[in-house]
Amino acid sequence: QVQVVESGGGLVQAGGSLRLSCTASGLAFDRYAMAWFRQAPGKEREGVSCITPSGRTAYYADSVKGRFTISRDNAKNTLLLQMNSLKPEDTAMYYCAATVTGSCSSFPLSNSYNYWGQGTQVTVSS
């Protein structure tokens, strides 16, 4: 049984930082491309970042480039998202997702992701 669990969300002031973590079990983690998505109330789900199975290549939404960094530790089945210089518009539920395609080619679309976590809330106050 595959389980994907996010953690690390919280309340932070604008300009602050948070680090999100995602652990995945029950799958061959090092064969999956992994991604972060977010969804704010009343808005569509948005792709934030994707990383290839090896961790060598990462992709980012324009809105987070230069502020967010995605990384992974395949030995620990863990995905990370370091978020710096946070803005109120970053407020959303953040989701970790895995795609068996092993590619970020469909990013930022979400329809090819097979497994999703329950989400962790990030709130940035102004």
Tens digit of each residue's pLDDT (9 = 90 or more) over 13-51: 999 999 999 999 999 999 999 999 999 999 999 999 999
- For residue 5, give the amino acid letter: V
* Beta pairing class for 78-83 and 18-25: antiparallel
Tens digit of each residue's pLDDT (9 = 90 or more) over 89-120: 999 999 999 999 889 999 999 899 999 999 99
Question: Residue 17 has what pLDDT?
Answer: 98
Structure tokens belonging to residue 90: 């970053």
Rounded CA gap, 92 and 43, in Å? 9
